[in-house]
Structure 1
């Protein structure tokens, strides 16, 4: 069974880095979004099993995505990957339903620990 993964980040380099960090079991069906608006379009129209979400993006930022998903009742495991590591921001994304807050650039061992903790490995 494949896992439908969405990686949302405005940086092509960051999207590729997250994709390359995914374990083989999660890297078979991956979609990419450049901003929150693209991510929301995908999330509203397709079954996505896990979302990796940046916070600082144009059009709709990561907080906007989290708020929209919560308001629309769309639930899925969300792993925020951001360089904005202020405790207030970390608390905010967790309040909005994120499973974990990972520092950018994502470290392979930290990513795997979090995926394992949430039943993806």
Structure 2
């Protein structure tokens, strides 16, 4: 499995990468600082799972999500955002995200999500 962690916050990326390292090695984790980088990285590295923030410069998560799904309709996108409003959750799920979870993600929740995605 390949993972792409997309967030404009270096700290948020670091926390998520650290948690992911429990389940995989660093060679399978890629990082992007905005939606545009995520699209480019998806074309290059073909990740299986993308962790995507919503509020980022250059291209936000709402714009990036359909582009990622167009590149790979089978890609699994997990939105990790401080925006926990119900309308944000409904919108990203309608755009094809598998999950919408609040930042910061805790390791137990990450484990549950990875197990759920592996069983799809």
Q: With the length of structure 2 as denominator, give the TM-score of the two structures.
A: 0.90
Q: By how many angstroms is 1:111 displaced? A: 1.3
Contact 2:34–2:60, Cα closer than 8 Å, also in 1: yes
How many residues in Structure 1 have an aligned counterpart in Structure 2? 117
Q: By how many angstroms is 1:23 displaced? A: 5.0
Q: By how many angstroms is 1:73 displaced? A: 4.7
1:5 to 3, 6, 26: 3
Q: Provide the residue aligned with 2:43 in structure 1.
A: 44
Contact 1:102–1:111, Cα closer than 8 Å, also in 2: no
Q: Say which is worse superposed, 37-46 or 88-97, in terms of deviation.
A: 37-46
Alignment of 1:11-90 (within 5 A): 11-28=9-26, 29-70=28-69, 72-75=70-73, 76-90=75-89
Secondary structure in 2 aligned to 1:79? Answer: strand
Q: Provide the residue aligned with 1:111 in structure 2.
A: 110
Structure 2 distance, partners of 1:14, 1:33, is 12
Unmatched runs of 5 consecutive residues or more in structure 2: none
Contact 2:43–2:71, Cα closer than 8 Å, also in 1: no
Q: With the length of structure 1 as denominator, give the TM-score of the two structures.
A: 0.89
Secondary structure in 1 aligned to 2:118? Answer: coil
Aligned Cα root-mean-square deviation (Å):
1.5
Contact 2:7–2:34, Cα closer than 8 Å, also in 1: yes
